[in-house]
Structure 1
């Protein structure tokens, strides 16, 4: 493995190959179509092909063909081997010295205190999915969590179908507004324990690192705003997105936070992101 690791590090030393790797890490465990990767990174298809082939040769990516589409995902075992090699060899097994910010107080210890967990949900427009998630968590477990939402390119107004669904479900919509992610990146912003992306486009975008190294996960769902057709068809799509997020939020709030270490908690929220993609249209 010692021969293979330097080769992986050399492959990742190329800025655009590293960009592909980082995007797929943000989307893990999704398998992302090559066309989506190329569009998100502004690469020509043949250029992307060169980069992913190099990363696959180094063992860092896996490939799957779905119909005529090639899809890529991180080979997590190989990624962990590479990172572990750096920590064990370069840091002499003392990761808290090399990267102390990666080792904050365990969430289990925090859970024993009276402080609530801060959770941020991110999508592009902050007009539907992230607003749903914020509202659901606030009403479902507001005694344990403080819920926020934001958009990378927020719309000026919340989607009227979103508001209709939330009102039908009994949520208070007067406290909601569309917000830019920049509101939560300044010195006075809340320190987040969890950050979730709920749309693929937001996860594809490069965002600054969050202070305190929160647990992050990608909970991508189809965008109900993009559904075309009658008002009944659009309304159904919004209800399905709401149902899927409510299901995931139920699983999230039922996690035994105090007894899970960080790795177990990360796996749990990743698994929730792969659960039911659509909820019941109730």
Structure 2
């Protein structure tokens, strides 16, 4: 499944060097970094040092890496002792997030490839402190419920990072994340996402928002960057893509969405994702 990751520099400073970029980012103590789209990278004390594969670090630490079959067993402590006379003492809290294909793709497309939040701009330090202390306290004993609790704490940090991205988006940018900043648009979007299979009309969404239909349509298009009904179509197709990935029959999904023939559904799906639903499922399954 698609992955995003976040890093919080807890102690010391280090460099983040993405393989696909031509520049490195220096992280000071307390800084945070969110990578909405997974990309190969190295974490180092100097941008010119040779990288050590994380699998090797994990082996030295006596820890397994992420096990996709056990999504709540992902709390790990990895220790790496560089081959240097006086290696820097650096501690990093790292988190990986997985979500349904279509929804995470839609979220990632609204965000920068790398989001760097300096320590001075982190407004949820107390939450990070709680998570760090929780991991330090429970990683050895692994008491009942520690994995589930850690999972929820990581989700809370992700939510705070997303809120920071929305707050720092340049004036005039569009995207569905922008809609969350408008109470009226947010109300309509929330209702739509709660019932993606419903055949929403423009009047119904306007009623939920509390705005008149023309006002709602204009405001939605200006803030989100697409018309309300175009957004409805995208959300419904996201739901369909998710169902298909779960193993649902394509014809059954087409029927559920109200298409009279699978061909009509296939045409809409190709317009949204570029490939037919069957091919899309095969490609995503192979990439997981």
Considering the TM-score relative to the shorter chain, is it more than 0.5? no
Return the TM-score normalized by structure 2: 0.26
Greater Rg, structure 1 or structure 2?
Answer: 2
